[in-house]
């Protein structure tokens, strides 16, 4: 891992946190928008719902909770959207190097190294810096899934032609569906997709060392990482399309929007036989999150890169350019203490629980953003 000290230099994007692609400010903006909710944006609506009870805040706050098992809420999109955006940057980084006849083996080595580093960072994020007993260590992680799924997607892009990439995409989704529905689990039989009885959880209990997040299941488990490759591939397809000349920006945005809507409809139909489920990262879940990711990319691309409406993007760009840093920093920096130190006393003067709770949620975001802005002004960005 390196700390980049020159924001204007040519920095090769990575699968975890791509460097800003100059022609796609929308990508950094969308990444920052995605990370905004993780760094505390959802707490604003939870605080409003809890303190006011207003119907609209309850509806929105409910969207910032994961379903217990099957189903989909807006909060489920944050993780796959990040993986999708990592894919979007691939044709701009690796594709440009391939056009310059760069050595594929060297590129592959860097891809694999980055993927494994992310797995390691995910283990540290879950367990801390100190070594735990093997049976107490949780190896699956969000960063680990981003690293592995992104790594395999990039290798597919590196070594295959577009037609073969589409075959990989369809084959993975259909193959995962077949395994999940047709392979029997000992003591359960086949076709069951409960937490206790499904092939992904069963395979993880056999292959993954240490502990699983829910003992018999891990939402970032090894086997369910396979279909996540397709989220990154969808990003790669979108990035390749945006990089292709011959269409206007408006045409590209409309095409992405239409394809995204098509995937959402297809996912809803597939849901009848293969439920949308983030815990198992089902193929229908891939399509609904990929479709929504395409829709968001189309909207941000049209507003920022086509219509050149950029004045509002700075807030999110500061977050997006250091997204991995803010994700990890919360485990080692007490931003909550700083928020309380600077803002709690003032907010208590309002004598209102709603003002205090919502104000503290906003204060936490302000402190984190100020930290990222300081890093931005220092031209310091965490890269893997």
Residue 5: pLDDT above 60? no
Residue 67: pLDDT above 60? yes
Residue 284: pLDDT above 90? yes
Residue 18: pLDDT above 60? no
- What confidence score (pLDDT) does residue 19 get? 42
Q: What percent of the chain has pLDDT over 70?
A: 93
pTM over 0.75: yes
Tens-place pLDDT, residues 137-152: 999 999 999 999 999 9
| Contact indicator for 274, 283 with CB cutoff of 8 Å | yes
- What confidence score (pLDDT) does residue 23 get? 58
| Contact indicator for 261, 291 with CB cutoff of 8 Å | yes
* Region 329-349 average pLDDT: 87
Phi, psi of 2 (to 5 degrees): -135, 155
Distance (Å, rounded) from C-alpha 141 to C-alpha 100? 35
Beta strands in the chain (DSSP E): 2-4, 381-383
Residue of higher predicted confidence among 245 and 109: 109
Tens-place pLDDT, residues 245-259: 678 889 999 999 999
Please state the domain extents for the chain.
2-383
* Region 223-232 average pLDDT: 97
Residue 205: pLDDT above 60? yes
Q: What percent of the chain has pLDDT over 90?
A: 68
Residue 171: pLDDT above 60? yes
Residue 353: pLDDT above 90? no
DSSP character string of 263-286: HHHHHHHHTTTS---TTTT-HHHH
- What confidence score (pLDDT) does residue 12 get? 37
- What confidence score (pLDDT) does residue 21 get? 41
Residue 339: pLDDT above 50? yes
């Amino acid at each position: 891992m390196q700390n980049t000290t020159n924001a204007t230099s040519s920095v090769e994007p990575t699968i975890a946190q791509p460097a800003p692609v100059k022609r796609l400010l929308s990508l950094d903006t969308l990444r920052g928008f995605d990370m905004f909710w993780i760094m505390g944006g959802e707490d604003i609506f939870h605080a409003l719902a809890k303190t006011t009870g207003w119907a609209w805040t309850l509806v929105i706050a409910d969207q910032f909770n994961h379903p217990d098992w099957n189903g989909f809420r807006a909060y489920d999109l944050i993780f796959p959207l990040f993986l999708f955006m990592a894919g979007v940057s691939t044709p701009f980084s690796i594709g440009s190097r391939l056009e310059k006849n760069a050595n594929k083996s060297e590129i592959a080595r860097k891809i694999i190294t980055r993927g494994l580093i992310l797995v390691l960072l995910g283990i540290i994020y879950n367990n801390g810096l100190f070594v735990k007993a093997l049976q107490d260590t949780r190896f699956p992680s969000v960063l680990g899934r981003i690293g592995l799924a992104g790594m395999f997607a990039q290798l597919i892009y590196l070594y295959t032609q577009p037609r073969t990439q589409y075959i990989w995409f369809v084959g993975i989704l259909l193959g995962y569906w077949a395994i999940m529905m047709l392979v029997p689990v000992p003591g359960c039989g086949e076709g069951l997709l409960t937490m206790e009885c499904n092939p992904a959880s069963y395979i993880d209990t056999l292959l993954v060392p240490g502990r699983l997040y829910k003992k018999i299941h891990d939402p970032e488990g090894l086997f369910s990482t396979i279909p996540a490759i397709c989220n990154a591939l969808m990003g790669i397809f979108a990035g390749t399309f945006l990089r292709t000349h011959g269409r206007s920006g408006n045409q590209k945005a409309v095409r992405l929007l239409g394809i995204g809507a098509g995937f959402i409809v297809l996912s809803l139909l597939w849901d009848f036989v293969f439920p949308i489920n983030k815990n198992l990262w089902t193929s229908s879940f891939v399509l609904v999150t990929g479709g929504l990711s395409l829709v968001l990319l189309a909207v941000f691309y049209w507003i920022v890169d086509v219509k050149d409406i950029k004045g509002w993007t700075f807030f999110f760009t500061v977050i997006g350019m250091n997204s991995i840093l803010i994700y990890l920093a919360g485990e080692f920096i007490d931003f909550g203490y700083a928020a309380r130190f600077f803002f709690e006393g003032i907010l208590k003067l309002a004598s209102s629980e709603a003002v205090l709770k919502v104000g503290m949620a906003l204060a936490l975001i302000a402190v984190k953003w100020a930290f990222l802005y300081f890093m931005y002004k220092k031209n310091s960005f965490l890269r893997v």
